[in-house]
Amino acid sequence: MMQQPSPANGPLLDVNDLVVEYPVGNKIVHAVSSVSLQIARGETLGLVGESGCGKSTLGRAVLQLRRPVSGRVLFDGQDLTAMQGDALRRMRQRVQLIFQDPIASLNPRRRIGDIVAEPLIIAGVKDPAKRKQLVDDVLSAVGLDPALVVGRLPHEFSGGQCQRICIARALVLNPEFIVCDEPVSALDVSIRAQILNLLEEMKARYGLTLLFIAHDLAVVKSVSDRVAVMYLGRLCEVGPSEQLFARPAHPYTALLIQAIPMPDPDVRPAETVPVGEPPSPISPPSGCRFRTRCPRADQQCSDEVPELRTVAPGQFVACHHPLI
Amino acid sequence: MTEAPLLSVEDVTVNLPTPRGNLRAVDHVDLTVGAGRTLGVVGESGCGKTMLSRAILQLLPKKAKLSGRVMFDGQDLLQLSPEKLRKLRGRSLAVVFQDPMTSLNPVLTIGTQLIETLQEHLELDMAAATRRSVELLAAVGIPAPEQRLMQYPHQLSGGMRQRVAIAIALSCEPKLLIADEPTTALDVTIQAQILDLLAREQRRRHMAMVLITHDLGVVAGRTDEVAVMYAGRVVERAPTPALFKKMRMPYTEALLAALPKIDAAPHTPLPAISGRPPDPTRPLKGCSFSPRCRYAAGQCHTEKPGLAEAESPAHLYACFHPIEAGAGISA
């Protein structure tokens, strides 16, 4: 696979002022509004937020599966938003996606061997023996026995095994970057741990960079070097995982952390302040979008959109009245 | 215990015929819940926790075969006529399901559904039922309750719908509420609010609750007692603090260890449980957890362990090689 020489020390992914909107009737859903973020080579960036905050849309817009309204997505120095047709298709061999529902993302009528080989065919690997070798290698890597698996259909596998197959399919082209969109949310606790461990192993083995999207903060923390918190289409806070969880600067991050049910009977759940529900992304609040649920909100929060600014080394917050 | 418990599930077994053979969804389960108490039932998909709740509510699929006894408030639910059962359900035995969109009727307004319940069970007139509905919606934290009565379920968010479902469940002052994954479909900030709401209403009404969930975090701070289910059986049952601190069953230990912890450093490998639960239509001869258990030996593969008492009669576990109680903690 041909690769352009690239600035090896720059971020692998540089998302700049990205805007994604969906028309709904004669209204517009502001799914992603002016989001900027960088992911370094070999890094895992966790992206957390509640349903409808735009985290999946952001992941898809990065891969150009949903074309943004404006903004740039630089992957290895090249602007994906300016690419079309063949150029984009070639670039897509270097980026992959893993979805939440592993069973729904496998074609029920095709055999596992064909499903995993499909990206190779699209990428133009013509030699069947070579394809078989690559498929067998990647299936073994994700913990499946190729001899037992390739001839079978998706319904013969459990959710956890289907997710292993999806991961194998994503890895078969040896990509550099994978967007994992809620990859373990549909799995039971005992299976979830297996898949999280597998993703970590694969990341090391294939030298991957990951954008890990999830709503579960504990899951995100366990795999991420840095975490970005999203609310109603905007980034609230970005920072190194441990620092962000120890000292959240955005009131929304603090609320999310406080709301996690702890598996420890000595931690009595704090009676949460009734903070209501997120407003509609069709008509998001002016200024700071979290202000309608925020205990610290004042006039400035409804007048001015807070910009991301540094509050601690590596930690950025978009809040007029941060906690630190 | 001096008085009889409010709910007592005695040796309940549920068999479901399937094309692949008989599926034993619930396998000889015994449980009790005292008035005003909360029992958490924890387990992974397919462990039988939902079938157990359906067995208590007598809402099993038609083909299902139930044996054992379910005593509720002095009555044997298996002996009650359908008419009597219907009177009981909704009145003193209420339920909240996981998905509020499917448990509410989409073509009736919130008001109609609430008022219907109140009129059916409490024989209130229209005006009194409407007044009571407004109070109930306000009690579960729904803003502008008068307007909400006129709305349909699709006009509300998931969290608001679940509040409505809870309002309907609480409307007749039930003695026992069965909450089957009540917050699984909801976001984490909404989940906390709904769990708070359930706890508050439970205290206020001195209501007993069976909280069914896959999330150990949800039961930890909010139950008196927890039953852990695996492959249709209760494999450990204990007062909540003992279950988390002095668990004896290796499955409980493994399940807790496999959870990503918010206070652990990033990239800490998780002690995953290898393999997966057995096929419920192909029951194992020995302990169902033995193929995945790191303590399993000889007997575990050939014989099913019964429930044995730990240091107190309230703590039961089903294991031949239990985890030793931590030194210095147990008496």
- In this prediction, residue A278 has a pLDDT band, given cuts at 50, 70 and 90, of confident
- In this prediction, residue A7 has a pLDDT band, given cuts at 50, 70 and 90, of low
Q: Is A14 on the interface with B (CB under 8 A)?
A: no
- In this prediction, residue A260 has a pLDDT band, given cuts at 50, 70 and 90, of confident
B258: in domain: no
Q: Which candidate in B255, B270, B329 is best for mutational testing of the A interface (most A CBs within 10 A)?
A: B270
Report CA B129 to chain centroid distance, whole Å: 29
Q: Would you call A258 and B192 a contact, using CB atoms and an 8 Å cutoff?
A: yes
B245-302 confidence digits (pLDDT tens)? 999 999 999 999 999 988 899 999 999 998 888 888 888 999 999 999 999 999 999 9
Please report where in the chains the tokens 């008085």 appear, as a residue: B3
Predicted local distance difference test score (pLDDT) of residue A148: 92
Range with the poorest average pLDDT among A37-41, A152-156, A272-276: A272-276
Q: Which residue has the higher pLDDT, B324 or B27?
A: B27
For residues A134-153, average pLDDT: 95
Which residues in chain A are contacts of B222 at CB distance < 8 A?
269
For residues B178-195, average pLDDT: 87
Whether the per-residue pLDDT at B188 is higher than 50: the answer is: yes
CATH number at residue B155: 3.40.50.300
B51: in domain: yes
For residues A282-308, average pLDDT: 94
For residues A86-105, average pLDDT: 91
Domain range for B144 is: 7-223
- Find the residue in A nearest to B160 (Cα): A277
- Find the residue in B nearest to A201 (Cα): B269
B36: in domain: yes
Largest distance between two CA atoms of chain B: 68
User: In 3-state terms, what secondary structure has residue A232?
Assistant: coil
B230: in domain: no
- The answer to whether A73 and A81 have CB atoms below 8 angstroms apart is yes
For residues A258-287, average pLDDT: 81
B256: in domain: no
User: Which tokens is A129 given?
Assistant: 């023996």
B272: in domain: no
Among A residues 145-164, those touching chain B with beta carbons less than 8 Å apart:
158, 160
- The answer to whether A278 and A262 have CB atoms below 8 angstroms apart is no
Instruction: Tally Cβ neighbours within 10 Å of residue B266.
Output: 20
Q: What percent of chain A has pLDDT over 90?
A: 79
Q: Is A254 on the interface with B (CB under 8 A)?
A: no
Which of A259, A260, A269 is the closest to B222 by Cβ? Answer: A269
Give the total residue count for chain A. Answer: 324
How many angstroms away from the CA of B269 is the closest CA of chain A? Answer: 6
Whether the per-residue pLDDT at A306 is higher than 70: the answer is: yes
Predicted local distance difference test score (pLDDT) of residue A273: 59
Q: Which of B201, B149, B212 is nearest to B172 (CA)?
A: B201
Range with the poorest average pLDDT among A69-73, A143-147, B271-275: B271-275
Whether the per-residue pLDDT at B80 is higher than 80: the answer is: yes
User: Which tokens is B92 given?
Assistant: 């003193």
Q: Which candidate in B45, B188, B191, B230 is best for mutational testing of the A interface (most A CBs within 10 A)?
A: B188
B323: in domain: no
Predicted local distance difference test score (pLDDT) of residue B189: 83
Instruction: Tally Cβ neighbours within 10 Å of residue A136.
Output: 18
Whether the per-residue pLDDT at B329 is higher than 50: the answer is: no
Predicted local distance difference test score (pLDDT) of residue B330: 34
Whether the per-residue pLDDT at B328 is higher than 50: the answer is: no
B250: in domain: no
Whether the per-residue pLDDT at B35 is higher than 60: the answer is: yes
Which residues in chain B are contacts of A217 at CB distance < 8 A?
188, 262
pTM: 0.89
Range with the poorest average pLDDT among A75-84, A230-239, B321-330: B321-330
Predicted local distance difference test score (pLDDT) of residue A224: 97
The number of CA neighbours under 13 Å toward the Cβ of A44 is 26
| Average pLDDT over chain A, rounded to an integer | 92
Q: Would you call B262 and A190 a contact, using CB atoms and an 8 Å cutoff?
A: no
Q: Would you call B188 and A196 a contact, using CB atoms and an 8 Å cutoff?
A: no
Range with the poorest average pLDDT among A273-277, A291-295, B118-122, B242-246: A273-277
- In this prediction, residue B184 has a pLDDT band, given cuts at 50, 70 and 90, of confident
How many angstroms away from the CA of B3 is the closest CA of chain A? Answer: 27
For residues A26-31, average pLDDT: 92
Report CA A75 to chain centroid distance, whole Å: 15
Predicted local distance difference test score (pLDDT) of residue A2: 43
- In this prediction, residue A177 has a pLDDT band, given cuts at 50, 70 and 90, of very high
Whether the per-residue pLDDT at A204 is higher than 90: the answer is: yes
Q: Is A194 on the interface with B (CB under 8 A)?
A: yes
Instruction: Report the complex ipTM.
Output: 0.84
- Cα separation, A135 vs B177, in Å, equals 51
Q: What are residue B69's phi and psi, to 5 degrees?
A: -140, 140
A–B CB contacts, 8 A cutoff, strictly below:
140
User: In 3-state terms, what secondary structure has residue A39?
Assistant: strand
- In this prediction, residue A24 has a pLDDT band, given cuts at 50, 70 and 90, of confident
Which residues in chain A are contacts of B256 at CB distance < 8 A?
263
Q: Is B216 on the interface with A (CB under 8 A)?
A: yes
- 3-state SS of chain B? CCCCCCEEEEEEEEEEEECCEEEEEEEEEEEEECCCCEEEEECCCCCCHHHHHHHHHCCCCCCCEEEEEEEECCEEHHHCCHHHHHHHECCCEEEECCCHHHHCCCCCCHHHHHHHHHHHHHCCCHHHHHHHHHHHHHHCCCCCHHHHHCCCHHHCCHHHHHHHHHHHHHCCCCCEEEEECCCCCCCHHHHHHHHHHHHHHHHHHCCEEEEEECCHHHHHCCCCEEEEEECCEEEEEEEHHHHHHCCCCHHHHHHHHCCCCCCCCCCCCCCCCCCCCCCCCCCCCCCCCHHHCCCCCHHHHCCCCCCEECCCCCCEECCCCCCCCCCCCCC
Predicted local distance difference test score (pLDDT) of residue B92: 93
How many domains in chain B? Answer: 1
Q: Which residue has the higher pLDDT, B115 or A270?
A: B115
Which of B141, B258, B276 is the closest to A158 by Cβ? Answer: B276
- In this prediction, residue A1 has a pLDDT band, given cuts at 50, 70 and 90, of very low
For residues A57-75, average pLDDT: 95
R_g (Cα) of chain A, nearest Å: 21
- In this prediction, residue A271 has a pLDDT band, given cuts at 50, 70 and 90, of low
| Average pLDDT over chain B, rounded to an integer | 91
Predicted local distance difference test score (pLDDT) of residue B331: 30
Instruction: Please give the single-letter amino acid code of residue A127.
Output: D
Q: What are residue B329's phi and psi, to 5 degrees?
A: -90, -50
For residues B105-119, average pLDDT: 93
